[in-house]
Amino acid sequence: MALNVVIMAAGKGTRMHSATPKVLHKLAGRPLLQHVLDRVAPLAPVRCVVVTGHGAERVEQLVEKVVGGAGVCVRQEPQLGTGHAVQQTVPALDDAAETTLILNGDVPLIGSDTAAALAAAAGSQRLALLTVTLADATGYGRIVRDGESVRAIVEHKDATPEQRTIREVYTGMMAAPTALLKRWVMALTNDNAQREFYLTDIVAMAVADGVPVVATAAHDETEVLGVNSPAQLADLERRLQRRQAEALMNAGLRLMDPARFDLRGTLRHGRDVEIDVNCIFEGQVELGDEVRVGANCVIRNARIAAGAVIHPFTHIEGDGPGDKSVQVGASALVGPFARLRPGAVLGDEVHIGNFVEVKNSTLARGAKANHLAYLGDATVGARVNYGAGSITANYDGANKHRTVIGNDVHVGSNCVLVAPITIGDGATIGGGSTIAKDAPAGQLTVARAKQVSLAGWQRPKKSPK
């Protein structure tokens, strides 16, 4: 079935109290509108039309980024109601698509299967409405039935007291034959309390034309919840996170507390993986078998091999998926309070300890930097011991330079390795040294001032007041 999709994304979101257009507020790390666009993709529409308005340029940039040329944006200026919004899409709809599906850009969790079922219910001959039954239907348009047939949708502000007792409500999403939808929306009027063009008025038009009006029920309340305030966004965030956590636990992941877990991307995991509380996963993260992640870690775009332990309060910040991700080898130990930045690649059994930062550096098997150190733009050999307080001085104020440390090197505490520099295999760098020239293999290299003691020296004293 050829399909048009219309996504309503013109609203300002006054109750968000934000300069950011409502549909660009983020849920699980992605804009609300992006969630909807991603869920539409499996339906393979011939035309995806996004109605923009407030913050139109920013919204249109997102559409271009997510769907490229497959998306068409039309502007609704001014915003005169949902019917007026769909009127703006009429020239952009593909007449070859027999059905048009209308979704909301601030309802991010609509299931692809639900959207497909709604479109199928409409086909080329029916008007199909997506409904849900709520315990509290305040603010929603009520479904008025005559037996199984839908006769009307009455907006809350226009409903009678009796109609407001109805708990089956319209979700704001519908599907209709494209040709009929075009005719109906262009015939809308604004004869109502708000002087707006209501899309819901096409129900009465369908009834008058003898077109069947059917209702398709959503799976649950969560998939049709919209976002109009920070409180609603926070509620939906927790619902989504709980849903994601349950899916991961059903696949064998061990979460110490699913209520204190946030996934803002994708997480793949092996067997017997354990994650402690208050951890955030962003981008694309892969955890091998028996990986353990301590409390309060933030891990973005990383591949962590089997048996590795990420101790609490560690930050891992890959640049992107694949080769741009941070890589941690098997049985490595990282943290607590460590930071792995883009380009960090740790081999098997590497130890990165507390307050150690690694950026654009490769550490071979068994290398250790256990305390208070910085490794930037470095290639570190196997079994290196990198002392506390030592750094690679990789930046000369204009350009970055690389440090190469051979196998079995011992770098003492509080050393500065001024790049570009090479430390040969088996070399030892004496503590407190500033090394600006290559250090030969197998030798002790020391560069520090001679120690001097001054007899008779007295510590300064405070002057009397």
Residues with catalytic function = 371
Per DSSP, which regions of 305-366 are E strands? 309-310, 315-317, 326-328, 333-334, 339-340, 345-346, 351-354, 357-359, 362-363
Is there a contact between 225 and 140 (Cβ–Cβ < 8 Å)?
Answer: no
Closest CA relative to residue 286, chosen from 262, 301, 268, 300: 268
Q: 């017997």: which residue's tokens?
A: 272
**Alpha-carbon distances, residue 258 vs 242, 252, 279, 295, 336 (angstroms):** 6, 13, 10, 13, 22
**Alpha-carbon distances, residue 294 vs 21, 255, 298, 316, 401 (angstroms):** 36, 11, 10, 13, 34
Interstrand relation of 298-304 and 279-287 (parallel, antiparallel or unpaired) = parallel
Distance, CA of 412 to CA of 407 (rounded, Å): 15
Is there a contact between 74 and 51 (Cβ–Cβ < 8 Å)?
Answer: yes
Q: 229 CB contacts (<8 Å, ≥6 apart)?
A: 15, 16
Amino acid at 427: A
Greatest Cα pair distance, the chain, in angstroms, is: 109
Distance, CA of 417 to CA of 369 (rounded, Å): 14
Q: 């930062």: which residue's tokens?
A: 357
Burial of 68 (0-12, 13-18, 19+ CB in 10 A): exposed
Residue 232 backbone dihedrals phi, psi, to 5 degrees: -70, -35
Q: 426 CB contacts (<8 Å, ≥6 apart)?
A: 406, 407, 408, 409, 441, 442
Distance, CA of 312 to CA of 388 (rounded, Å): 20
Q: 396 CB contacts (<8 Å, ≥6 apart)?
A: none
Find the angle CA(12)-CA(155)-CA(80) to the nearest 5 degrees. Answer: 40
Distance, CA of 375 to CA of 310 (rounded, Å): 18
